[in-house]
Amino acid sequence: MRFEYSNKVIKKVRLKILDKPGYLGSLTTRVGDLGGMFGEIKTIHLGKGYKIREMDIYSDTLDIFDEILDVIRTVEGVDLIGVKDVVEEYHKGGKINVVSSVDVETIDDLKIVYTPGVASICKQIAEKPELAAEYTTIPNNVAIVTNGTAILGLGDIGPVAGMPVMEGKALLFNQLAGINGYPVLIDSHDPEVIIETVKNIAPTFGAIKLEDIKAPECFEIENKLRKELDIPVLHDDQHGTAVVVLSALINIAKYTFLNLNEVTVGYIGLGAAGTGIYKLLKAFGVSTQYGADLDDNARNHFQSLGGIPEDLEGVMQKSRIVIATTGCAGLIKPEMVQQGQVILALSNPNPEIDPEDAVKAGAVFAADGKSVNNALAFPGLFKGALRAHASMINEAMMIAAAKTISGFSLEGDLVPNILDREVHDAVAVAVEQEAYKSGAATVKNSY
């Protein structure tokens, strides 16, 4: 079975190109005429009168890419040597592994890290369980838990098919925050099975990150685990997304002179992301919020949280800021846009309305979901919580993260560079400090 998610196709082509003026330019022009875009370009061999180059080429569909290859074959002075799938190459063998933090080079080393030396550490922890925080990796371990029911825009494809996403989260944890992220795949649609499984494995971890579990089950699972565990439990699709959206709105408010505590906000789509954003903006001080969804249960849940249910037209007419997370491309028509509105059409790969079309229709500011990525939030959010040995990640900690992220954005940008380690370090510091201020921390303040 083939699932369609993103239209973008990324391939690496190897080409032999005559090393004379005009040939490379002719190639790029012909590819551009078909809508192809170039990523990385590098020379891998310099021959007599020619160069062999590898180029990453992006196209909207596989059919268009095939057309691009046909055109390349006709370009004078260019020979097509080979084509590779870049994404498949990166994923072969998986994206993560487990490595040791100490070297074992001699038998004496082995006796220290394993038997018999390790027994003394086990005895100490047995007598004082709190020593596990000092002598094990538990305080730096995060479980990345999914049942595969809401993977990206693919829907319910099962936990194993979602493993590449979980590996990606673990990779980002490691590279951006120095955290050990462990994917945990649970093959069940029953919330109680997921809850019991997580409770049983929780002693291994300092925090639990719920990932790509569909609504409304995700709400029940998170709520029950938060009550029954004494470590942070956070559903990233709700709260990580919410943190990045709030950080973007803080900057939008600065650029457009809006007061976020006074504006009306409307949601189109009340699933995990929409609900999470609503909760955080309410905690931030946004009092009037409207919400539309085709599902009666979603609307009722939204109302039970304090939101005002509306239909699509009502949300568009009554809201100064509109946030759409439906996964339905083109849902918002230009004629629905009000003068001076802010439109965040966050569905990927195709938004509910193209930002340029929204601005042409009268929006003062519009953006899609390409830059609003929850990976800007979760590494620092969890790192700060773990450093404070927090029992939870509360809304005050999330707001501190959002404010910090917004402060790193370049003038005119919504959010900063997602790979800037300084951003994640600063978020961790802000979250840790807020954990102490708000009473979520359980150890002595290190500041």
SS3 241: helix
**Residue 347 CB contacts under 8 Å (≥ 6 apart), including other chains:** 153, 269, 324, 325, 326, 327, 328, 329, 368, 369
Q: Which of 196-200, 211-215, 443-447 has the lowest mean pLDDT?
A: 443-447
For residue 42, list its beta bridge partners: 54
The backbone region for 209, taken as left when phi is positive above 0, alpha when psi lies in -120 to 50, beta otherwise, is beta
Mean of pLDDT values over 125-132:
95
pLDDT tens sequence across 291-311 = 999 999 999 999 999 999 999
What's the pLDDT score for residue 99? Answer: 87
Pull the structure tokens for residue 99.
């490595």
Helix axes 296-304, 272-284, angle to 10 degrees: 20
pLDDT, tens digit (0-9, with 9 covering 90-100), for 153-183: 788 999 999 999 999 999 999 999 999 999 9
Question: Which residues fall within 8 angstroms of residue 387, CB to CB, at 6 or more apart?
Answer: 428, 432, 446
Q: What percent of the chain has pLDDT over 90?
A: 84
Contact, 271 vs 323, CB < 8 A? no
State both tokens at 193: 């099975």
List the Cα angle 205/208/212 in 5-degree steps.
Answer: 140
pLDDT in tens, 14-53: 999 999 999 999 999 999 999 999 999 999 999 999 999 9
Nearest 5°: CA angle at 371, between 366 and 376? 135
- CA torsion sign, 282 to 150 to 216 to 270? positive
Question: How does the average pLDDT of the chain come out, rounded?
Answer: 93
Number of residues that this document lists for the chain: 447
Mean pLDDT on 183-204: 98
What integer pLDDT is reported at residue 96 of this predicted model?
85
pLDDT at 368 over 80: yes
What does pTM read for this prediction?
0.88
Find out whether 52 and 7 touch, Cβ atoms under 8 Å.
Answer: no
Which of 399, 405, 428, 416 is closest to 261 using CA atoms? 399
Distances in whole angstroms, Cα of residue 306 to Cα of each of 4, 267, 283, 300: 36, 13, 12, 10
Q: Are the beta carbons of 210 and 235 closer than 8 angstroms?
A: yes
Count of C-beta atoms within a 10 Å radius of residue 295? 14
Mean pLDDT in residue range 423-428: 98
pLDDT digit string, tens, across residues 81-114? 999 988 888 888 889 888 888 999 999 999 999 9
Catalytic residues: 114, 169
Q: Which residue has the higher pLDDT, 188 or 348?
A: 188
Q: What percent of the chain has pLDDT over 70?
A: 97
pLDDT value, residue 192: 98
Q: Give residue-wise pLDDT tens across range 221-275.
A: 999 999 999 999 999 999 999 999 999 999 999 998 899 999 999 999 999 999 9
Residues 137 and 179: their CA atoms lie apart, in Å, by 10
Q: Is 257 left (phi over 0), alpha (psi -120 to 50) or beta?
A: left
Q: In sequence order, what are the residues at sequence separation of 6 or more whose Cβ sits closer than 8 angstroms to the Cβ of residue 274?
A: 267, 268, 291, 293, 323, 325
Separation CA 55–CA 39 (nearest Å)? 7
How many of the other CB atoms lie within 10 Å of CB of 144?
Answer: 24
Average pLDDT rounded to a whole number, residues 105-126:
93
Q: 67 CB contacts (<8 Å, ≥6 apart)? A: 34
With 90 as the cut, is the pLDDT of residue 371 above it?
no
- Judged on CB neighbours under 10 Å (0-12, 13-18, 19+), 67 is middle
pLDDT exceeds cutoff 50 at 447:
no
Q: Would you state the pLDDT for residue 7?
A: 53
pLDDT surpasses 80 at 2: no
Q: Is the pLDDT reported for residue 5 higher than 80?
A: no
pLDDT attached to residue 445: 47
Tell me the helices (H) and strands (E) count for the chain, helix number first: 17, 14
Q: List domains and CATH numbers for the chain.
A: 9-91 (3.30.70.260), 94-136 (no CATH), 139-231 (3.40.50.10380), 237-447 (3.40.50.720)
* Cα 160 to Cα 172, 186, 235, 259, distances in angstroms: 19, 9, 19, 44
Mean pLDDT of 195-217: 97
In the chain, what is the greatest distance between 2 CA atoms, to the nearest angstrom? 77
Q: Are 393 and 232 in contact (CB under 8 A)?
A: yes
- Is the omega angle on the peptide bond into residue 191 within 30 degrees of 0, that is, cis? no
Residue 1's pLDDT band (cuts 50, 70, 90):
very low
Give the residue among 318, 315, 254, 243 at the shortest CA–CA distance from 284: 243
- With contact defined as beta carbons under 8 Å apart, do 188 and 125 qualify? no
Q: 398 or 93: whose pLDDT is higher? A: 398
Which residues, listed in sequence order, are joined to residue 234 by a DSSP beta bridge? 209
